[in-house]
A and B are shown apart, each in its own frame.
Chain A
Amino acid sequence: MLRIEDLHAEIDGKPILKGLSLTVNAGEVHAIMGPNGAGKSTLGYVLGGRAAYEVTAGSVSLEGDDLLEMEAHERAAAGLFLGFQYPVEIPGISNLHFLREALNSQRRARGEAPLSGAEFLKVARAQAAALGMDAEMLKRPVNVGFSGGEKKRNEMVQMGILDPRIAVLDETDSGLDIDALRIVGDGINRIMRAPDKAVVLITHYQRLLDYVRPDFVHVLADGRIIRSGGPELALELEREGYGAIAA
């Protein structure tokens, strides 16, 4: 589904990703773990198509199409969802308005009919309820005044509404208490655990992986994947730290 080969990317002339390769097949959950500054968020932004990041070498394909050729919104329409480590606050734009426009833009790009206000509202309410988010929060400006945990929950509500094929979730677990972690974990499983979907889960901690069981675990350090394994690798990292693995 997603094939990353020898990816090199830099920002402001500073190389961050230095030859990263990763293949994600439909139906799989991949966890990416690694120390601060390793380039995990950079990977997310490069996949999402953020303009400030320059890809200097390598390739990325999504379902065989060249992802790097697409603009950010085209990647979304092609089924990519990026869950932000730091979701952005946008004053003056309600969640509902934003998400309806976003979903309908995607649908139009795919040649599907846009949802009416009523149809959309039904979907949005159902997703908010499933993630334990008060429906009133849908009317509030995007992420403004939300707690860290509420922002992450809102990311998952957005994911539920947009229903992507592949989700790259950047530290969606940070800032969550134990209960919220379970709700978010259940949400990821419900929305994304399907034979034709896939998840790349960027995380620092083993604890989210108790809820969303990964098929593969990778260690990202200094812009490359330096080790890959099964779920047991996450436990080993938790026990021994990145230092021992990277050495």
Chain B
Amino acid sequence: MTQLPTNRMEAWRWTDLAALEAARSTDRGSAPALDGLWIEGDGPRLVFRDGMYQPKLSTPGEVSVEAISPATAHPLGAVTAGDGWRLTLAAEQTVAVIQIVHVATGGENHLPGVIELSRNADASIVETFVGAGWTNRLTTIRLAEGARLTRSVRLLQASGFVSLREEAEIGAAASLASIFLGAGKAASRIDGELVVTGDGGLAEMGGALLTRGEQRQECAVTVRHSALDGASRQIWRAVAADRSAASLAARVDVARGAQKTDGEQSLRGLLLHRTATVNLKPELEIFADDVKCAHGATVGELDKQALFYLQSRGLPQGPAKAMLTRAFVADAIDRIEDEAVREVFAADAEAWLNEAL
């Protein structure tokens, strides 16, 4: 196994590596129930238990399970080599929403995934993580001209550590829109590198990290524009309660030739308690001169005036705070296009709010 990163490395300084170590040394146990995790729809469904495919619980459709040897330099991504899942779609092919549930019972588990969409193919994938232990994933994505992929990923593990690494290459006029929700109790790192290689490509990676207790979650995402007329969007919201910490690191690189790039980067943190922490690290590296990059990064508490306004109309303090926090998180979650998926993610966030507030 390759060397794990340490907190002395700049790119990993906020990562809860202690939680990762603790999670991997736990014993395997029993799996939580999976009912209630499926979203309505008749698309393919796959279950991986501790990283192992569960054919009896799956209807894989277009998804195949096979040996995958990823070419990545990423220290956690590289660990995933072995059996994994692959979705390959031919030109113009579209599939119904694919759902993958990853259930972990303890210890460590690793799994690579590959998504390759040919010209104008269209796919949508929802992934859900539940259970315990260290769950480690690498997803490699290649989108040919005009292909469209939407990804919605929710982290609901009750304990442990979830590390996700996304590596995507986005071709001309192709689009990748991926939204992540961290609403469990595990520590996490959502790590991504999206490269827009074709003219007019769109890269979106964003989401909401909700942390409480002693939990630490982070995202570390880079979008690189190397072609003309590209667009990217990084809308991240962090809500931190108790003594938890959420960290948002997002970077946009615009290469010299990537003129007319339209980038949007918005990192915002909300502290529900004074003892919580939100770290923000927005970065822009722009080498082209004709580029639009809107960006903002702020951390604050709930607006006291707004809170009193809601309370004065009859809402008790808890529900009033929940309502304002929900609106804050909605900036990220409302980016999910599919209504059924969006509602399920919103309900997960709601459940988190009801417990945290």
Question: What is the CB-to-nearest-CB distance from B298 to chain A, in angstroms, rounded to a whole number?
Answer: 13
Query: How many A-B contacts at CB < 8 Å in the complex?
Result: 75
Q: A90 and B309: CB pair below 8 A?
A: yes
Q: Give the residue among B304, B308, B309, B326 with the most A Cβ atoms within 10 A.
A: B309
Minimum CB–CB distance for A41 against chain B, Å:
12
In the bound assembly, the distance between CA atoms of A82 and B328 in angstroms comes to 26
B303, B313, B320, B323, most chain A CB atoms within 10 A: B313
Mask for A157-183, Cβ within 8 A of B = 1, else 0?
Answer: 010001000000000000000000000
Interface string of B95-120 (1 = CB under 8 A from A): 00000000000000000000000000
Chain A hits for B311, CB < 8 A: 49, 71-73, 76
Beyond A93-B327, A105-B319, whether A87 also contacts B314 by CB under 8 A is: no
Closest chain B CB from A104 CB (angstroms): 9
From residue A171, how far is it (CB to closest CB) to chain B in Å?
16
How big is chain A's contact interface, by range? 20 to 34
Chain A residues positioned under 8 Å from B326 (CB to CB): 92-93
Complex Cα distance, B308 from A76, in Å, reads: 12
* B312 near A49: Cβ-Cβ < 8 Å: yes
Which residues of chain A have C-beta atoms less than 8 A from B309's C-beta?
A: 84, 87-88, 90, 142
How near does chain A come to B353, taking the closest CB pair, in angstroms? Answer: 13
In the bound assembly, the distance between CA atoms of A76 and B314 in angstroms comes to 5
Q: Mark B314-334, 1 if CB is under 8 A from A, else 0.
A: 111101100110111011000
CB pair B324 A93 closer than 8 Å:
yes
In this assembly, does B347 line the interface, its C-beta being within 8 Å of a C-beta of chain A? no
B306 interface residue per 8 A CB criterion: yes
Cβ-defined contact, B312 with A162, below 8 A? no
Q: How far is the CA of A142 from the CA of B305 in the complex (A)?
A: 13
Which partner residue on chain B sits nearest A89 by CB separation?
A: B306
When distances are taken between beta carbons in the complex, the residues of chain A under 8 Å from B308 are 48, 50-51, 72, 88
B249 within 8 A of A: no
The answer to whether A106 touches B314, judged by C-beta atoms less than 8 angstroms apart, is: yes
Q: Is A215 interfacial (CB-CB < 8 Å)?
A: no
Q: Nearest Cβ distance between residue A48 and chain B, in whole angstroms?
A: 5
A109 touches B331 (CB 8 A): no
Decide: A99 and B327 in contact? CB cutoff 8 A.
no
Q: Given the complex, which residues of A lie within 8 Å of B330, measured CB to CB?
A: 92
Interface size, chain B (Cβ < 8 Å): 23
Q: Is the CB of B312 within 8 A of A76?
A: yes
Give the shortest distance, in Å, between B244 (CB) and chain A (any CB): 23
Q: Do A158 and B327 touch (CB < 8 A)?
A: no
Task: Name the residue among B306, B311, B323 with the largest chain A CB count within 10 angstroms.
Answer: B311
Please report which residues of chain A, range 53-98, place their CB below 8 angstroms from some CB of chain B when the two chains form the complex. Answer: 71-73, 75-77, 82, 84, 87-93, 98
Q: Does A118 contact B (CB under 8 A)?
A: no
B310 within 8 A of A: yes
Q: Does A43 contact B (CB under 8 A)?
A: no
A87 to B317, CA, bound (A): 19
Collect the chain A residues with CB atoms within 8 Å of residue B303's CB.
88
CB-CB under 8 A from A98, the residues of chain B are 310, 313, 323
Nearest B residue to A159 via CB reads: B313
Does A200 make an interface contact (CB < 8 A)?
Answer: no
Asked if residues A101 and B317 are in contact (CB atoms below 8 Å), the reply is: no
Q: A residues bordering B, Cβ < 8 Å?
A: 48-52, 71-73, 75-77, 82, 84, 87-93, 98-99, 101-103, 105-106, 109, 142, 158, 162
- Besides A72-B311, A89-B306, A101-B319, 12 other A-B contacts (C-beta < 8 A): A48-B312, A52-B304, A71-B316, A73-B320, A76-B312, A77-B314, A82-B312, A88-B305, A102-B310, A102-B314, A158-B313, A162-B314
20 contacts between A and B (CB under 8 A): A50-B308, A51-B304, A51-B308, A52-B304, A72-B311, A73-B311, A73-B314, A73-B320, A76-B311, A84-B309, A88-B305, A88-B309, A89-B306, A90-B309, A91-B327, A98-B313, A101-B323, A102-B314, A105-B315, A162-B313
